[in-house]
Amino acid sequence: MNSFKKFLAKTTATQLIRVSFSRPALLENPAFLILMNRVFSAMAPSYDRLWQRMGTEAEVLGPLEAGLSRVAPPPDWVLDLACGTGLATFHVHGSFLKAQVVAADLSERMVRILRQKLEESDAGPLHALCCHSGALPFGAGCFDLVLTQNAPPYLEEMVRVLRPGGSLLLAYSFVVPGAVHGVIRKRFTGVGLEDLEIAAAGHGIAVTARRPRGELR
């Protein structure tokens, strides 16, 4: 991708991230959910090719990799929210081969493509399902690691399904440096997460935090 397109990707993504953290109620707006579903379902068949044009694998997945390197001990159960066609899902599976990895997305078409890839790759303990990140069909505290890459942050639900002491990871491949730290810090503190770290990686950032072992504030 040339530098102008990269600049455009960074500025657009930065504004979307700012809005999604500063106005979380917007993420639950039914019209917003319909829009997301339609846009990404339309994009699903060409989604992988699109990402290949955005940059090298190292550029796109750099922030995710930086975030995963901070996750210890290795998780048993991982949830990859808004997984799309599984770009992050397969990477997480490669990093934690023994973990059960559950991938979920709002768009049925995205999930269908991921399921097809799973069948073809025989990749191991990976599971795909269709659901809204803001209303997950899991009980409280089921996962050791909950993550999402380049997607809206449904923080309350992510924290609910995370076990006490578990890790949360948000990876954004393209962000203007320093432009979103304030809104992210405020939201993370608001939901009671600890050990927040926002690290620059590649053209983006990795945001990691931990659910406290005791009661949430």
144 contacts ligand SAM (rule: CB under 6 A): no
Q: What does the block give as tokens for 169?
A: 């990871």
Q: Which is nearer to ligand SAM, 72 or 135 (CB)?
A: 135
79 binds ligand SAM (CB under 6 A): no
Decide: is 133 part of the binding site for ligand SAM (CB under 6 A): yes
Segment contacting ligand SAM by CB under 6 A, of 32-40, 70-78, 137-145, 204-212: 32-40
CB 215 → ligand SAM: shortest distance, Å?
27
Whether the CB-CB separation of 102 and 80 falls below 8 Å is answered with yes
What is the layout of strands, in order, in the sheet containing 162-172? Answer: 126-130, 100-105, 77-81, 143-149, 162-172, 204-210, 194-201
The answer to whether 68 and 92 have CB atoms below 8 angstroms apart is yes
Candidate segments 113-121, 150-158, 181-189, 191-199, binder of ligand SAM by CB under 6 A? 150-158
Q: What are phi and psi of 141, to 5 degrees?
A: 70, 25
Residues numbered 92 to 121 that lie near ligand SAM (CB under 6 A) are 105-107, 110
Q: Which of 62, 63, 67, 152 binds ligand SAM (CB under 6 A)?
A: 152
List the end-to-end C-alpha distance of the chain, in Å, as a whole number: 44
Sign of CA dihedral 23, 24, 30, 36: positive
Count, residues in the chain: 217
Q: In Å, what is the CA distance from 192 to each residue of 95, 185, 186, 215?
A: 27, 11, 10, 9
Q: Site for ligand SAM (CB under 6 A): which residue of 132, 160, 203, 210? A: 132
Residue nearest to ligand SAM (CB): 84
Task: Give 149 or 208: the residue with its C-beta nearer to ligand SAM.
Answer: 149
From 128-136, 155-163, 176-184, 189-197, span contacting ligand SAM (CB under 6 A): 128-136
Phi and psi at residue 206, to the nearest 5°: -115, 130
Cβ 78 to ligand SAM shortest distance, Å: 13
What residues make contact with ligand SAM under the rule CB under 6 A? Answer: 33, 36, 40, 82-84, 87-88, 105-107, 110, 132-134, 149-152
